[in-house]
Amino acid sequence: MTADAETKQNEAEEPEHVEARVSEGPRISMIWLVPIVAVLIGLWMVYTHWAGQGPLVEITFENAAGIEPDRTKIRRRNVEIGEVLRVRLSEDASHVVLDVRIQQENADLLREDTSFWVVRPRVGPGGISGLGTLLSGSYIEMSPGASEESAREFEGLETPPLTPIGTPGLFVTLDSVGNKALQAGDPILFNGLQVGTIEYVHFNSQERRTYYNAFVEAPYDRLITTTTQFWFSAGLNIELSADGVLFEVPPLTTLVGGGVSFDVPVGQPLGERIKGRAFFTIHPRESSIYERDYEQSLQYVILFEDSIRGLRPGAPVEFRGVRVGEVLRTDIDYEEVGNLLDADSMIPVLVELVPARFGFEDDERAAMEAEAQIDDLITRGLHGGIGMGNLLTGRKFVELQYFEHEPHPEETFAGITVIPSVGGQVGRLMDSVADTVERLNELPLDEMTTSALNALDQITATLAEMEVLLTDEATQNIVQSLDDTLLQFQGLAEDFSEGSQTHEDIQRTMRSLEQTLLELEPVLRNLRQRPNSLIFGGPDDEDPEPQGARE
Amino acid sequence: MSRARVLFIGLTLVSLTACGSSEVVDDHYYSLVLAAGVPADDVEDVAAHLVVGPIELPRYLSGRGLSMQVGPNRIESASHHFWAEPLDEAIAKVLARDIDERTDGIEVERESGRWTGDAECRVRIEFDAFHPTYQSQVLVSGRYWIVSGDANERRDFSLSRRLTTDGYANAVDELRDALQALADQIAGDIRSAPTCGDDAAASVAADQT
C-alpha cells in the first residue's frame, strides 16, 4: 500500500484534522534566468563592440577648419577607415585635438610615421586639388607609415605630403645662394622630364643660403651620382656678358613656375650612384656647371685713367686669351680714390686671379708660388688693359699683357698689389694713330713731291716720244710688214695642214720614198752577200711564177 | 803614157765587162685598177658618204714586187714582176669603185680622195694575205671594220680563187675577182649600217619627194 492510499484511508478514518505539511520549494525562480541571460548577452555585445571598434587615436592640427565630429571620415585611397569622434582644443589652446576612431582591421596602419592631413579644395603650384570635397565635405586622408613602431598620437600635416611615405626613390638636399629660389612642389627635371619634386624649403638666415629637401623618384634616383650637378631651370635666362648674349629657354613646365634640372656635365665620368642622402649646390644656370670651383685665388687692383664703361663685376680677366680670373669690383668706394674730379684720380678695378687657371695646383703652396711669379711679372712689365669683349653687348673684359720694355715698381692700393694699367683698345688705337701721324710728319714730303713731279715730267716726255715714234711712217710700215708676214705664215701653215694639197703631196712623196727604200733592201742585201756583183752583176734568176692547176 | 799601157788597160776593161754580162730578164708591171675595167657612169642622189680606208697590208706586201707563197710558210718577192702602183692605193681605188657600184645613194671615196668632208660611214680593212700560192690558187684574207655613227662592227673575210693558167697576169685577174667578192660582202654590210644604210637613203628620198 502506498502513502496516498494510507492518507486517503486515514482521512476517511479521521476526516476532521489534516495537518498541512510544508515542504521546501526552489529558492530562486527560473524566471530570473531571462534577465541574467539578457545581461550576459548585453555584456557580450558591449565587449564585442568595444573589441571591434578599433583603436582611438589623437591627431593634432593647427585648426579644425572643415572638420565636424561624427561626420568627418578618415580615408585611405577613398576607403573609409575611421571617423572623427570629437574635436577639442589642446590644453594651451594652441592647436586642436581630434579624437579619431580607426577601424580595427586598419589598426596595423597606425605607425610612428603615419601621416594625416585634411583634404579640402586647394590651389597650388601643382594645380587645383580636392574639388570633390566641395560637395561631400572635407575628410582626413591617411598615409600609412613604414615604421615598425605603432603609435596612437599623431601630428597632422597642414599641407598634403608631396611624396607619400614609402615611395621608392632618393632624398637629396640642395642648397643655393643668389636671387633664385624654388618653392615646395617645384619639379626636378632630367632632360625636361619631371623625375622628382622639391619637398621642403628652408632658408638659413645665418648662412644666407637656402636649403631644399628634394625627392627623386625611382627609377630615376639612379641618375643621381657623385658627379651630378644641379642648376636652376626656371624662367627665361637672358644674360649679356663679355662673351656675348646668353639666351636660355627652359622646358615649358618650368617656364612660368620654377624648377631645377640635373645631369652629369659633358665630358665628365658618370660617377658612382648615390644611395644615401647627399648634398648638392644648385648652379645659377646650366653653363655654370662646367665652371670649377677653385679654392685658391689672388686679388689685385688695376688703376685705370680711362673710362671703364662696359666693365662689370664678373667680367673675365684674360691672359694670352685664356680666362684666368674675373672682375670683383668696379666701384670707387675706396678711401684712396678721393673724388673723380681730381685730374690725377684713378679708377680701381679689383680683380681675382685663380692660380689654377694659370696651370698651378689649387692649394696654398701653389697659390703662394703663383703670387710670387705674378708679382715678379708686374715688376718686369705685366700690365692690365680693358678689351672689347662683345661689340653687340658693349661688355668689356680685362686683358693682362706683358710689355717687356715697361717695367713697373711694386705698388699697393688699399693694401692690395697693383697691376699697372695700359690704355684700352681705343687708347692703343689712338696711340697708334698718333705714332703714325708723327711718322708721317717725319717723312720728307717736299723732296718726295719734287721727285714725283720730276718723274711725272719724264714720263710725259717719254710718252710724247713714243707717240712720235708710233705715228712715224716707217714704224707703221714695219707694223704693216709684220702683219703681212703673219698672214703669209698663216697661209703657209694652212697649206701644210692636214687635207691640203701640199700635205697630200708630202704624204705621197714620203710613201714613194718608203717604196724606194723597200726596193733597195734586196739590192743592198745582195751587195752585202756578193760585193763584186756591182761590177760583175749577179745571177739574174727567174722569179717563181704561179702555176695553174693541172687537171 | 805609152801606147802599150793604154792597150793593156783597155783589154782588161773589155775582159771584165765580158765577165759581168749575163742574160737579161724583162720586168713586168701589173695593175689592179686596169684589171677592174672602166667604171660605169653613176649619177645618183647622195644620201651618205662612205670612205674606204685606210688599207693596211702586211710588210711583205708593201714592196713593189709581187709576192708569192712558195711553201707552207715561205714567201718570195718577185724581182721582175711589180705592181704598177702602190698596192694599198690600188686596192682602195678598186674596192671604192666596186662598193659604189653596189650601193645606191651612197657616195664612196677612198681615203685621201677628192672628198674631204666628214663621212657618215667608214670601212677600214686589214689584209693578212693578198697573193698567189704554190698550190695554184690566190688567197685574199683579213678583216674589215664598218664604222657607222657610234657602231664599230668587225667582219672577217677569207677568199680564194683557183688558178687555171700559169703566170702572174692570171693571178692578178683572180685577185681582182676576189676583191669583187669582198666588195659584195662589204656592200651587203653597208646597207644595214645605221647612218649610211638603206634607212638613211630612204629618209633622203622621202625628203626629196
Residues A428, A311 within the same domain: yes
The CA-atom distances, in angstroms, between A308 and each of A276, A278, A303, A378, A418 are 50, 44, 10, 21, 17
pLDDT digits (tens, 9 = 90+) for A527-537: 877 777 777 66
* Partners of B52 in the β-ladder: B110, B123
Asked whether residue A389 is assigned to any structural domain, the reply reads: yes
Residues A213, A341 within the same domain: no
Name the residue facing A543 among B21, B81, B112 (closest C-beta): B81
Report the range out of A425-439, B140-154, B174-188 with the highest average pLDDT: B174-188
User: Residue type at A359?
Assistant: G
Report the range out of A94-98, A535-539, B42-46 with the highest average pLDDT: A94-98
CA A366/CA A323 separation, integer angstroms: 18
Residues A272, A302 within the same domain: no
Query: Taking every pair of C-alpha atoms in chain B, what is the biggest distance, in angstroms?
Result: 96
Q: Which residues from B are below 8 Å from A544, CB to CB?
A: 68, 70, 76, 78, 134
Q: Among A232, A260, A290, give the residue marking a domain's end.
A: A290
Quickly tell me which residue has 669683349 as its cell. Answer: A389
pLDDT digits (tens, 9 = 90+) for A126-149: 566 677 777 778 889 888 877 788
Of B97, B106, B100, which Cα lies nearest the Cα of B195?
A: B106
What is the CATH architecture of B26-208?
3-Layer(aba) Sandwich (3.40)
Instruction: Tell me the pairing of strands A169-176 and A278-283.
Output: parallel
ipTM, 2 decimals? 0.71
Structure confidence at residue B131 (pLDDT):
93
**DSSP H or E segment with residue B184:** helix B168-191
Quickly tell me which residue has 657612169 as its cell. Answer: B41
Using beta carbons and an 8 Å cutoff, which residues of B are at the interface with A? Answer: 16, 19-25, 62-65, 68, 70, 76-81, 86, 112, 116, 132-134, 136-138, 162-168, 170-171
Q: Which residues from B are below 8 Å from A537, CB to CB?
A: 20-22
Domain spans in chain B, listed from the N-terminal domain onward = 26-208
SS3 A202: strand
Model confidence at A275: pLDDT above 80? no
Asked whether residue A402 is assigned to any structural domain, the reply reads: yes
Contact B205, B117 (CB under 8 A): no
* Partners of A193 in the β-ladder: A190
Contact call for B78 and A543, based on CB within 8 A: yes
Question: How many structural domains comprise chain A?
Answer: 3
Residues A236, A181 within the same domain: yes
Residues A303, A285 within the same domain: no
Model confidence at A192: pLDDT above 50? yes
For residue A301, the number of C-alpha atoms closer than 13 Å in the C-beta half-sphere is 19
Instruction: Tell me the pairing of strands A209-217 and A169-176.
Output: antiparallel
Model confidence at A1: pLDDT above 50? no
Range of the domain at A333: 298-434
Quickly tell me which residue has 622646358 as its cell. Answer: A251
The mean per-residue pLDDT over the stretch A67-88 comes to 88
Structure confidence at residue A427 (pLDDT):
57
Asked whether residue A468 is assigned to any structural domain, the reply reads: no
Residues A280, A356 within the same domain: no
Quickly tell me which residue has 743592198 as its cell. Answer: A524
Q: Which three cell numbers stand for residue B80?
A: 721582175
Suggest the residue from A502, A545, A550, A551 to mutate for an interface test with chain B (most B CBs closer than 10 A). Answer: A545
CA A327/CA A438 separation, integer angstroms: 36
Look up residue A470 and give its DSSP letter: H
Range A167-196 burial, b when 16+ CB lie within 10 A, else e: eebbbbebbbeeebebebbbbbbbeeebbb
Residues A247, A310 within the same domain: no
Asked whether residue A508 is assigned to any structural domain, the reply reads: no
Percent of chain B beyond pLDDT 70? 77
Query: Cα distance from A533 to chain B (closest Cα, Å)?
Result: 8
Of A139, A80, A89, A143, which Cα lies nearest the Cα of A111?
A: A143
The mean per-residue pLDDT over the stretch A336-342 comes to 76
- Report field, pTM of the whole predicted structure over 0.80: no
Residues A316, A430 within the same domain: yes
**Is the four-CA dihedral A126, A132, A133, A139 of positive or negative sign?**
negative
For residue B193, the number of C-alpha atoms closer than 13 Å in the C-beta half-sphere is 31
Asked whether residue A517 is assigned to any structural domain, the reply reads: no
Asked whether residue A16 is assigned to any structural domain, the reply reads: no
pLDDT digits (tens, 9 = 90+) for B191-209: 877 667 666 666 655 665 5
CA A385/CA A431 separation, integer angstroms: 14
Contact A106, A76 (CB under 8 A): yes
Q: Among A382, A408, A434, give the residue marking a domain's end.
A: A434
Q: Which three cell numbers stand for residue A204?
A: 638659413
Contact call for B65 and A540, based on CB within 8 A: no
* Helix residue ranges, H only, chain B: 3-20, 32-35, 87-102, 168-191, 198-208
Residues A285, A411 within the same domain: no
Query: Cα distance from A547 to chain B (closest Cα, Å)?
Result: 4
SS (H, E, C) B49-77: EEEEEEEECCHHHCCCEEEEEEECCEEEE
pLDDT digits (tens, 9 = 90+) for A141-182: 888 877 788 888 998 888 777 776 667 888 888 888 777 778
Phi first, then psi, for residue A40 (nearest 5°) are -60, -45
User: Mean of the per-residue pLDDT values for chain A?
Assistant: 80
